[in-house]
Chain A
C-alpha cells in the first residue's frame, strides 16, 4: 500500500518537474510461449540458471537472499515473483540481469556500496534491463543472434574467435568463471545502460529510498579507480560497455535533483544493510585482500570504517593489509589495527592470533603466548591449533 501511495505521489511530482517516467514493457507474471523466439531464449536461460544454482561460487545464505529479495519486492512489488537474485562469490564490482529475470550480484559489489539505498540503486538498474526488455532487443539484433548461437555451440573461446564477443569481456569472464559467460554476452548498449539508470532511479524514488545515493555509488567507484594499485584490471564488466562512471554520476545526480523536490522518505537503510552483510563480511574481505591490490583493498576497507559494519572485522583486515605489505612501519600500523579489533565488544578471534604473531616477531614471548592462548580459548576447534601449540612451546 505504501508503495502504491508513494507511486501516485511521485507520478504527480515527476510530471510536475518534467521527469518523463519510463513505463515497464513487461506484464507481471510474464512468461513467453515456448513456441516463440523469446520462449527459446528463456529455455536456454533456465538451463543456465540451473548451472548457476549448482555453482560452488554461489553464496547459499537464505537470510541474505531474503534481504535482497525484500529490496526487489520493495522496488517492484508486482514483479517480485518474477525476479530471482543469486549472490556470487567474486571480489569485483558487478551485477547482471538475464532476460528471464535471473539476477547475479557479485560479493565485491556488496562491500563497495555503503547502504541499502545504494544497493537498491544497482538492483533497480538491473530490474530496469528486465522491465524494459533490453536483452530481447539485443537478441533480436542479427549480430547478437549469431553471437548467442556461437557461444552456445562453441563456448566463449569460439565466440571470441568468431568475433562475436569482445576480447575484453571474454578475458574478464574467463577470469571470473563460466557463470559470467551468458551474462557477459548480454552486455547492454550504452543507451540501454542509460535507460536502466533512469528506470532504476525512478524505482528508487518510488520505493522511498534516498535518490542521491545512486550517483554517490559512481563517485565511490571513481575514487577507488584512483586508489587502485593495478589500474589495468578494473575487474568490472561495468567498464566494458557501460557509460563512464563520471558520466553516470553526472546524469544520476541531475535526475536526483529533479526528483528530490517532492515529499519523500529519503531512506538510506545503512543499519539494515550492514546487518545483512556482516555474516558474510569476513569471507568477502578475505577474498578482496587475496586480489593482491593494496590500494583498492585499502580504499574499500577505509570506506567500510564509516559504515555500520562489524568494525572488529574491518579493523582486523586493515591490520592484515599492512601486515602482509610489510613495508617500513607497517608492523606497528598492523598492530594498532589488531588492538582496535580486539577492543570491540565481540572481537574477531583471528585478531588475537595476528597480534600474537607480531609479538612473537618482536621477541615479546610472554605477550605473544598470552595472545595465542586467548585465540585458542575463543577458537578451541581452530584448524591451526597444532601450529599455535607449537608457537606456545617457544
Chain B
C-alpha cells in the first residue's frame, strides 16, 4: 500500500470518526439532571445534544435508534416539552400547572406524535405513583414511527411547586423495551427532586 493511499484511508477513517456522535459513559454514581437526582443501576451512555430529542438530556444503552431515556426537567407553566423555534410547521402542546395526570399523558403523547410524525397506536396503563417524593403518575404507550418500527414508551413524572419534571424511556418494542425497562423504571421510581 502506497503512502498516499494509506494516508487517504487514515483521513477517511478519521473523517468517519468525526461524523459519529460522541457518547460519554454515565458513571454508576448519583447523577443530577437539573433538580432531578437518579442512581443508575446499569450502564448508560450520555447522548450528544445534537442527537437527542429537542437537545434534552438523553441517555441510551444501545444507541438512540433502539432506546433512549429523555429528561424533561424544570418545565414551567406555559412552556412546551420541546421548543418549536425554527420548526414553524410543528406545534407542540404546552404545559399548565393545573393539568391533571390524564392531560400530562396527552401532552407527552402528542409531543412525541408531532416531533416524530408518529402514530400513537395504544395508550397503556396510567396509575398514580410517588415520584421524587411527590404524588405523580406513570404510564406506558405504544407508537409507530415512520420507519414502521413498533416502539413502546414508559413515562414517569410529577409536578412540584408548579414545575413539571417528566422522564420518558422509549425503545423498540420487540426486544429492547422489555430488556431495559425494569432497570430504568427502578432507577426513576427512586429519583429525588430538589
Specify which of B109, B125, B148 is in contact with A383 (CB 8 Å cutoff): B125
8 of the cross-chain contacts (CB-CB < 8 Å) are A55-B148, A89-B119, A292-B92, A292-B93, A294-B91, A357-B102, A384-B123, A387-B102
Q: Which of A121-147 contact B (CB under 8 A)?
A: none
With a CB–CB cut-off of 8 A, which chain A residues contact B113?
290-292
Specify which of A179, A353, A390 is in contact with B128 (CB 8 Å cutoff): A390
With a CB–CB cut-off of 8 A, which chain B residues contact A176?
117, 146
A115 CB, min distance to chain B CBs, angstroms: 26
Contact A179 B117 (CB under 8 A): no
State whether A292 and B91 are in contact (beta carbons under 8 Å apart), knowing that A384-B125, A384-B126, A386-B125 are contacts in the complex.
yes
With a CB–CB cut-off of 8 A, which chain B residues contact A179?
148
With a CB–CB cut-off of 8 A, which chain B residues contact A279?
none
B90 interface residue per 8 A CB criterion: yes
With a CB–CB cut-off of 8 A, which chain B residues contact A57?
119, 144, 148
**Identity of the chain A residue whose Cβ is nearest the Cβ of B137 in the assembled complex:** A387
Interface residues of B (CB under 8 A from A): 88-93, 96, 98, 100-103, 106, 109-110, 113-114, 117, 119-121, 123-128, 137, 139, 144, 146-148, 150
B138 CB, min distance to chain A CBs, angstroms: 10
A66 CB, min distance to chain B CBs, angstroms: 23
**Identity of the chain A residue whose Cβ is nearest the Cβ of B125 in the assembled complex:** A383
A178 interface residue per 8 A CB criterion: yes
State whether A175 and B146 are in contact (beta carbons under 8 Å apart), knowing that A229-B91, A292-B90, A361-B98 are contacts in the complex.
yes
Residue count of chain A within 8 Å CB distance of chain B: 35
Contact B128 A230 (CB under 8 A): no
Contact B114 A290 (CB under 8 A): yes
With a CB–CB cut-off of 8 A, which chain A residues contact B103?
324, 357
Contact A178 B123 (CB under 8 A): no
Contacts A56-B121, A177-B147, A390-B128 aside, 14 further interface pairs with beta carbons under 8 A come to: A56-B144, A56-B150, A175-B117, A175-B146, A229-B91, A292-B114, A294-B91, A324-B103, A360-B100, A361-B98, A384-B139, A386-B127, A386-B128, A387-B128
A82 interface residue per 8 A CB criterion: no
Q: Which of A356-394 contact B (CB under 8 A)?
A: 357, 360-361, 383-384, 386-387, 390-391
A376 CB, min distance to chain B CBs, angstroms: 13
Contact B123 A383 (CB under 8 A): yes
Contact A291 B126 (CB under 8 A): no
**Identity of the chain B residue whose Cβ is nearest the Cβ of A231 in the assembled complex:** B89
A230–B87 alpha-carbon span in the complex (Å): 11
A263 interface residue per 8 A CB criterion: no
Contact B146 A177 (CB under 8 A): yes
A189 interface residue per 8 A CB criterion: no
State whether A230 and B148 are in contact (beta carbons under 8 Å apart), knowing that A361-B100, A384-B126 are contacts in the complex.
no
Contact B119 A230 (CB under 8 A): no
A233–B89 alpha-carbon span in the complex (Å): 6
A168–B15 alpha-carbon span in the complex (Å): 30
Q: Which of A86-116 contact B (CB under 8 A)?
A: 89-90
Contact with B along A314-349 (1 / 0, CB 8 A): 000000000010100000000000000000000000
A390–B137 alpha-carbon span in the complex (Å): 11
A174 interface residue per 8 A CB criterion: yes
A232 interface residue per 8 A CB criterion: yes
**Identity of the chain B residue whose Cβ is nearest the Cβ of A55 in the assembled complex:** B148
Contact B93 A324 (CB under 8 A): yes
Contact A232 B88 (CB under 8 A): yes
**Identity of the chain A residue whose Cβ is nearest the Cβ of B84 in the assembled complex:** A292
Which 6 residue pairs are nearest across A and B when measured between Cβ atoms? Answer: A290-B113, A386-B127, A384-B126, A292-B91, A175-B117, A390-B128
A60 interface residue per 8 A CB criterion: no
A161–B91 alpha-carbon span in the complex (Å): 29
State whether A383 and B93 are in contact (beta carbons under 8 Å apart), knowing that A56-B148, A291-B114 are contacts in the complex.
no
With a CB–CB cut-off of 8 A, which chain A residues contact B114?
290-292
With a CB–CB cut-off of 8 A, which chain A residues contact B137?
387
Contact A387 B110 (CB under 8 A): no
**Identity of the chain B residue whose Cβ is nearest the Cβ of A382 in the assembled complex:** B126
With a CB–CB cut-off of 8 A, which chain B residues contact A360?
100
Contact A290 B126 (CB under 8 A): no
State whether A384 and B110 are in contact (beta carbons under 8 Å apart), knowing that A56-B150, A233-B89 are contacts in the complex.
no
With a CB–CB cut-off of 8 A, which chain B residues contact A357?
100, 102-103
With a CB–CB cut-off of 8 A, which chain A residues contact B144?
56-57, 89
Contact with B along A273-315 (1 / 0, CB 8 A): 0000000000000110111111000000000000000000000
A293–B89 alpha-carbon span in the complex (Å): 9
**Identity of the chain B residue whose Cβ is nearest the Cβ of A320 in the assembled complex:** B106
With a CB–CB cut-off of 8 A, which chain B residues contact A287?
119-120
A48 CB, min distance to chain B CBs, angstroms: 13
Contact A230 B127 (CB under 8 A): no
State whether A177 and B127 are in contact (beta carbons under 8 Å apart), knowing that A290-B113, A292-B90 are contacts in the complex.
no
A387–B106 alpha-carbon span in the complex (Å): 14
